[in-house]
Structure 1
Amino acid sequence: MAKQLKSNLMVMYLAYRDRRVPWFAKIFAICVVAYAFSPVDLIPDFIPILGYLDDLILVPLGVYIAIRLFPREVIEEYRTQAEERRKLGKPKNWITGTLIIALWIALAAWSSWYIYGRLE
């Protein structure tokens, strides 16, 4: 199942630029692929139980929905290309990772400010 998930991620990564894919499917696929290839998780893995929630539920659910939005002929066309590219390794999305880190920093800063305001 994990192998199929990786394969489907690569298919979406390659196929989202195809003209036959509807714009809403492209946007959704870009978000799912960027998050899946991001070196940083929205919920860090060191947080007990919740840390693996995104890996076990969010990413597979996003891939399932995105694949359903793509035309079947596009998916089939890019499956062989995805298998060849998968052998080369997983691409990394450092922009998404940076955005997630910035989100965590902003959340920590806001929490600190809020707690400091309550303590005064």
Structure 2
Amino acid sequence: MVNVKEGKATMSLSSIGKQIHNDVMNVSNIQSVRVGILPKRSGIITNLDLGVEQGLDLTEKTREIVEVVKSSANRLGVKLYNTNVNFIPVSGPKIRRERPEIKVEERVEVEDISVEE
């Protein structure tokens, strides 16, 4: 339930999660995001699983992510109780590999050659 100027509006957890997902994906060095939202009496707790590049300063990145989530929640008019961040190191950007092209060669007929002893 979100307070608006003239009454109240209901927002689904899915909508909130998608907005937070989109905002967090815009943060540099984030490869993937999975957002979990736990509803509380008058707010939410967010659980984030983030795929990040190896060698990243996780303390600074955590601060940045928490600020982004706070900003998203404020913009949506939702009270944020807590943000839990779980970093999952990934080796690099995912590369979509195409299937190798398979070439079919034409058949060549060969005469049967027998070897006598």
Q: Tell me if both proteins adopt one fold, taking TM over 0.5 as the criterion.
A: no
Structure with greater helix share of residues: 1
Larger Rg: 2
So what's the TM-score if we normalise by structure 1?
0.31
Structure with greater strand share of residues: 2
Higher relative CO (CA 8 A, sep ≥ 6), structure 1 or 2?
1
So what's the TM-score if we normalise by structure 2?
0.32
